[in-house]
């Protein structure tokens, strides 16, 4: 999209993200409360989930295409009470992990941005143990048709400002159609509904 946009994406956006995502701090602990064992976090960002994992987490692998705010992220990793192993997302989107490895996969405010979100969720399902669980919190499409129409209208602008973020993804149906059975899902309104209609839940891989 041009040199200014590359600069925005690499140098400015990570700071915007860090500030914006800090607002959601209180929602992290309840989302991650059931994480346990060997955990994979998709879309690690700047590591804001790290202090909110419960004691049952033994180790954490993370995946993200971006390396941002490295010093801050390294400090957060050093303070974590479990080992953290970071991975850069491969270009083909295939997760660099064995099938059925993880007890828990977590994804927070990231399904909005992944270009082929269906394929990414299928990969998350592949690397989960059959009895493992996907824990998520995402912003998404409102069930109020008037708000959803505004989300559709504003989506092209959000795509640019948010470096690929979409306002109008229907989170529950997207998770289900990638081969998960939703165990629970709740809707939370944490600000203007166009941007902050949140869906928090847990899903099991279908056999
Ligand atoms: C809005 S941020 C959320 C960061 C973090 N999960 C949090 O809760 O603060 C979205 C993150 O998704 C990452 N991302 C974008 N495309 C991705 C992909 N295909 N797979 C995994 N992560 C991706 C971005 O680099 C960014 O770190």
138 close to ligand 1 (CB < 6 Angstrom)? no
Matching residue, tokens 């990638």: 178
β-strand partners of 146: none
CA 126 – CA 120 distance, rounded (Å): 10
- Cβ of 162 less than 6 Å from ligand 1: no
What pLDDT is recorded for position 9? 85
Calculate how far, in angstroms, residue 118's C-alpha sits from the geometric centre of ligand 1: 15
The CA 137 to ligand 1 mean position distance, Å, reads 12
d(CA 79, CA 93): 29
Query: From CA 7, how far away is CA 14, in angstroms rounded?
Result: 11
| 136, 201 Cβ separation under 8 angstroms | yes
Q: Ligand 1 in contact with 69 (CB < 6 A)?
A: no
The predicted pLDDT at position 11 comes to: 85
- Cβ–ligand 1 contact at 110 (below 6 Å): yes
pLDDT score of 1: 65
pLDDT attached to residue 183: 97
Question: Each residue of 146-192: pLDDT tens digit?
Answer: 999 999 999 999 999 999 999 999 999 999 999 999 999 999 998 99
With the most atoms of ligand 1 within 8 angstroms of its CB, the residue from 17, 64, 116, 121 to mutate is 64
How many whole angstroms separate alpha carbon 167 and alpha carbon 4?
24
Give the residues of the chain that fall short of pLDDT 50. Answer: none
**Ligand 1 centroid to residue 188 C-alpha, Å:** 20
Q: Determine the pLDDT at residue 69.
A: 87
Tokens in use for 182?
């939703």
Domains of the chain: 3-205 (3.40.50.150)
């Amino acid at each position: 999209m041009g040199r200014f946009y590359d600069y925005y994406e690499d140098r400015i956006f990570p700071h915007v993200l860090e500030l914006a995502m800090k607002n959601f701090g209180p929602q992290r602990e309840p989302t991650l409360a059931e994480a346990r064992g060997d955990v994979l976090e998709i879309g690690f960002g700047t590591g804001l989930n790290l202090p909110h994992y419960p004691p049952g987490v033994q180790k954490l692998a993370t995946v993200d295409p971006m390396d941002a705010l490295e010093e801050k992220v390294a400090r957060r990793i050093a303070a974590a009470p479990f080992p953290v192993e970071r991975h850069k997302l491969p270009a083909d989107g295939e997760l660099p992990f064995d099938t059925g490895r993880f007890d828990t996969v977590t994804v927070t405010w990231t399904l909005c941005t992944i270009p082929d979100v269906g394929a990414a969720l299928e990969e998350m399902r592949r690397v989960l143990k059959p009895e493992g669980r996907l824990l998520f919190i995402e912003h998404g499409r409102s069930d109020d048709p008037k708000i959803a129409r505004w989300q559709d209208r504003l989506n092209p602008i959000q795509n640019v400002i948010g470096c690929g973020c979409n306002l109008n993804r229907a989170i529950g149906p997207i998770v289900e159609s990638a081969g998960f059975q939703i165990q629970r899902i709740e809707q939370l309104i944490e600000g203007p509904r166009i941007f902050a209609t949140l869906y928090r839940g847990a899903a099991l891989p279908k056999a």
